[in-house]
Amino acid sequence: MAARKKSKKKAARRAKKPALNVVVGSKVKEAVKSHGVRCSGDLVEALNGKVIAMLSDAVARCEANRRGTVRPQDL
């Protein structure tokens, strides 16, 4: 019997996943639910990616301004 090949979709999804989780999934779901709507399974992962991108941009702006501290205005 031949071995099953892994799906390309699953491999691609794993490759996109950031290594660091900076958002708390249960709190995101709680916030969404408080507005009376449901939360998709991919929402937390997508939000995490957006937050990581925002932080990366803020660090770059901080370094461009020759500072060692990221400030709220860097966001």
Q: Tens digits of per-residue pLDDT, 9-52?
A: 665 666 566 678 999 999 999 999 999 999 999 999 999 999 99
pLDDT at site 2: 65
The count of structural domains within the chain is 1
Confidence (pLDDT) at 1: 60
Question: What does residue 18 show for φ and ψ, rounded to 5 degrees?
Answer: -65, 150
Task: Give Dmax over CA atoms of the chain in angstroms.
Answer: 62
- Assess whether pLDDT exceeds 80 at residue 56: yes
pLDDT over 80 at 4, yes or no: no
Find the angle CA(58)-CA(64)-CA(68) to the nearest 5 degrees: 70
Residue 72 inside a domain? The answer is: yes
Is 25 part of a structural domain of the chain? no
Name, in order, each residue with C-beta under 8 angstroms of 29's C-beta and a sequence gap of 6 or more: 39, 43, 44
Cα separation, 35 vs 37, whole angstroms: 6
Whether 26 and 39 have beta carbons less than 8 Å apart is answered as: no
List the domain range (segments joined by +) for residue 52.
41-75
The answer to whether residue 19 sits within a structural domain is no
Full-model pTM: 0.72
User: Can you give the pLDDT at residue 10?
Assistant: 60
